[in-house]
C-alpha cells in the first residue's frame, strides 16, 4: 500500500511504532522497520551516551529507515535530539517544545521531522515550524492523547494542512487503518498493539493483562505525571492517579525513584531551580513516572507499577510477532477495501 507517508519515509507499509519510553527499544524498533513499517526509538530516560548507543544498535539490526522520538520538555531530550542529528537519523519525531532548530538541522542532511500533536493549536504550531509530517494523537491513545477523539481530531487537522498525517489513538488492526485513511490520515501508529508483540520487552504478565482487559479499563488523569495521561486501570494505576501531584509528593516520589534507580537526583533538582516551572515539571515527571513505568513494563508489578496503555487494548487478543501483526493489518485492510469496492 502506497501513501504519502510511505513515499516520504521510504517504507513499505503505512504503519508506525511510536517512541514509547522503555518499550520502543532497539530490538522492537528494528523489528518494525524490518517488517516494512517505521520504528521510532524512545529517547525518554536515556542519557546522550545511551541514546547514541541505542541508535547504533538499531543500525546494527536493520538497514531500513527508522526514527528517534524526543519529547523536548523532558529531561535529557534536547541532548538526545542533538545526538540523533549528529548520527543523521532518517526521521526525528519531536513533541512538547519548539523544534525549528531540529527541522533545520535534519533537513540539512536530508532527514525528515515528524511532530506529535494532540490538538489543533499544537498542530498549527508544528506546521509553522516547517515539519514534514504530523502524528495526530487522539483521546484514545496511551499516555498523552488530547481531549478530542481520533474520529474528530484527525479530520480537523487534515482540514488545516496538506502535510502527511499519521493517526494515533485507537488503532490496532486493518479496520483502524482503513478508517484512518478515510479520515484523511496517511498511516497509523499502533503502540499498544506492538507492545504485546513477541519482540516487545514488556513483561509477559503485563502483556497478558493487556490481552485480558477491555477497552474501557483505563484511567485518564493529569495526576500521574502532571499532563493528562491514559494508564491501565490497575491497583498501581489507581494509586498513582488518586491525588494531584503537589510539591511534597513530587519530592518524595523523585527521591524514591532516584534511590531505587541509583540515579543522582541533584542534577534534576538543579534544572528545576534554573528553569522555574519547566524544571518543576521535569522533576515531577521523573519522580511520578519513571520508576512506576519501569516496574510495570520490566517487572510486571501492577501494585506499585503503572502501565501506560491505549483504549485499543480492547482490540488486542494475542501475542504474535511484529511481522505477523503487520501482515495481518495489511491483509485485513486490503480485504476491507476490496469488499467496499465490490459493493459500489
Encode pLDDT of 231-260 as tens digits: 999 999 999 999 876 666 666 666 666 666
Residue 158 neighbours by CB distance under 10 Å: 19
Q: List domains and CATH numbers for the chain.
A: 4-199+321-343 (3.20.20.70), 204-299 (no CATH)
Structural contact between residues 139 and 150, judged by C-beta atoms closer than 8 angstroms? yes
Please state, for a pLDDT cut of 70, what percent of the chain lies above it. 86
Structural contact between residues 338 and 196, judged by C-beta atoms closer than 8 angstroms? no
Per residue in 99-151, pLDDT tens? 999 999 999 999 999 999 999 999 999 999 999 999 999 999 999 999 999 99
Per residue in 148-198, pLDDT tens? 999 999 999 999 999 999 999 999 999 999 999 999 999 999 999 999 999
**This prediction's pTM:** 0.91
Integer Cα distance of 213 and 159 in angstroms: 35
Grid coordinates in use for 287? 519522580
Amino acid at each position: 500500500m502506497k501513501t504519502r507517508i510511505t513515499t516520504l519515509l521510504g517504507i513499505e507499509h503505512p504503519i508506525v511504532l511510536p517512541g514509547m519510553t522503555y518499550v520502543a527499544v532497539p530490538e522492537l524498533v528494528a523489528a518494525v522497520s524490518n517488517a516494512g513499517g517505521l520504528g521510532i526509538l524512545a529517547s525518554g530516560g536515556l542519557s546522550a551516551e545511551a541514546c547514541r548507543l541505542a541508535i547504533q544498535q538499531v543500525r546494527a539490526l536493520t538497514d531500513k529507515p527508522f526514527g528517534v522520538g524526543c519529547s523536548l520538555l523532558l529531561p535529557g531530550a534536547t541532548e538526545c535530539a542533538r545526538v540523533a542529528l549528529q548520527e543523521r537519523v532518517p526521521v526525528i519525531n519531536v513533541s512538547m517544545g519548539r523544534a525549528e532548530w531540529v527541522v533545520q538541522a535534519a533537513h540539512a542532511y536530508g532527514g525528515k521531522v515528524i511532530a506529535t500533536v494532540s490538538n489543533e493549536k499544537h498542530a498549527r504550531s508544528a506546521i509553522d515550524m516547517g515539519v514534514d509530517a504530523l502524528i495526530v494523537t487522539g483521546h484514545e491513545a496511551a499516555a498523552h492523547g488530547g481531549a478530542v477523539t481520533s474520529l474528530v481530531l484527525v479530520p480537523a487537522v487534515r482540514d488545516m494542512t496538506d502535510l502527511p498525517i499519521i493517526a494515533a489513538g485507537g488503532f490496532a488492526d486493518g479496520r483502524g487503518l482503513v478508517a484512518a485513511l478515510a479520515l484523511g490520515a496517511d498511516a497509523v501508529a499502533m503502540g499498544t498493539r506492538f507492545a504485546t508483540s513477541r519482540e516487545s520487552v514488556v513483561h509477559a504478565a503485563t502483556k497478558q493483562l493487556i490481552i485480558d482487559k477491555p477497552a474501557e479499563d483505563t484511567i485518564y488523569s493529569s495526576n500521574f505525571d502532571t499532563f493528562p495521561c491514559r494508564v491501565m486501570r490497575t491497583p498501581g494505576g489507581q494509586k498513582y492517579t488518586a491525588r494531584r501531584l503537589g510539591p511534597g509528593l513530587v519530592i518524595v516520589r523523585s527521591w524514591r525513584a532516584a534511590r531505587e534507580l541509583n540515579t543522582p537526583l541533584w542534577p534534576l533538582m538543579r534544572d528545576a531551580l534554573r528553569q522555574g516551572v519547566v524544571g518543576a515539571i521535569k522533576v515531577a515527571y521523573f519522580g511520578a513516572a519513571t520508576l512506576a513505568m519501569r516496574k510495570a513494563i520490566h517487572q510486571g508489578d501492577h501494585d506499585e507499577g503503572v502501565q501506560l496503555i491505549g483504549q485499543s487494548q480492547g482490540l488486542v487478543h494475542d501475542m504474535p510477532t511484529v511481522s505477523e501483526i503487520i501482515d495481518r493489518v495489511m491483509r485485513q485492510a486490503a480485504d476491507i477495501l476490496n469488499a467496499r469496492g465490490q459493493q459500489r
